[in-house]
Amino acid sequence: MTRDERDPERDDELSRLLQRWSAPLVPDGIDERMLAAYRRQTGAGEPWWSRLFTASVRVPLPVAVGVLMLLIVTAALALRPVAPQPTAGTTAPSAPVQAARHGDVPVETYYWFVTESANYDRQGYPLAGPQLTAFQRALSVIVGGIEQGLFPARPGQSRNDGFENCQLCPYDRVCPGNRARVWGRKRSAPELREYLDLAEPED
């Protein structure tokens, strides 16, 4: 149908309808919301540094679960209660040592053959009498020194291959060469009297 063949009445009716029609009212703020949605999608109008806090990364589910479990385990290890570590002057010997020190438990001494040819045999006997008294005295001096934080460096006699008490020490090479002189100055300290009586009874 060409333009000349159209029904004039229909055109008039369409014209009347168009004249009565009015555009619906646009809700207030819709343009601001559309602009904000556009900016969120494109990132337009935002400072570059804000993207550091709003960026998103696609992570596979197994990786996300693994990272979450790692964080949980790390937090549990970090928050677990830690037993206080003994320091110099506050070191507490174990209960068996304290019991043996005060004679609350029987004390036995053994030599253990740690070879198959010796059948891993143990040879020993219970301590009693003067032997037990000497053991308890030595143990009391050692434990008392640990509790007071006393760790005297007593090198012993000087020999061609070094000092007598330093042969098996891994720190022998870092100790001063005048260690005997240093011990000679410290050995008269009153705090070391009991240790000195035990280590050098001839004095």
Angle of CA points 112, 168, 98, to nearest 5°: 55
Tens of pLDDT along 1-36? 555 555 556 677 778 877 877 766 656 666 677 777
Amino acid in the structure at residue 130: P
Q: How far apart are CA 104 and CA 110, in angstroms?
A: 19
Tens of pLDDT along 120-167? 898 988 888 888 888 888 888 888 888 888 888 889 888 888 888 888
Tens of pLDDT along 30-88? 667 777 777 676 655 566 666 666 656 677 888 888 888 888 888 888 877 665 555 54
Within 10 Å of residue 153's Cβ, how many Cβ atoms? Answer: 15
SS3 at position 167: coil
Question: Does pTM top 0.85 for this prediction?
Answer: no
